[in-house]
Amino acid sequence: MMKLDKELVREILLAVEAHDEAQGWMTLKIEGRTDKEVSYHVMLLDEAGLLSGISLGGMNTFEWQPKRLTYQGHEFLDTVRDGEVWRRTKEGAEKVGGVGLGLLVELGKAYGKQIFKERLGIELP
């Protein structure tokens, strides 16, 4: 069983966002990561509603590839694109232990609002 890799989640979302084809699927390769690791995380991101993915695997193969980000995926990525928000989100997730994607998204939003308040002096609802 693979573990959720928060860094890989962010890397995949950034790579999918940078891909400018809106049709079909993309063949995603991430340096230093196995195809199986990437496929597993694409499947999880699809299940979590952060991207639209497709299973291309057959009888004895496991392969998931992304098609596009969902609205929720764009929203989450815009929140954690900021390095400080991402750093705090990861630290917060590590403090509480095993955090799923849903909680990671909520943590990102919360830290995003906190940093927004620190930088602009106004609070978001």
Q: Specify the amino acid at residue 90.
A: K
pTM (2 d.p.): 0.85
d(CA 109, CA 25): 28
Greatest extent of the chain over all pairs of C-alpha atoms, in Å: 56
Q: Which long-range contacts (CB under 8 A, 24 or more apart) does 91-99 make?
A: 93/6, 98/4, 99/4, 99/6
Q: Give the model confidence (pLDDT) of 71-114 as tens digits.
A: 999 999 999 999 999 999 999 888 887 778 888 999 999 998 89
CB proximity list for 123: less than 8 A, separation 6 or greater = 113, 117
Q: So where are the chain's domains? A: 6-70, 77-120
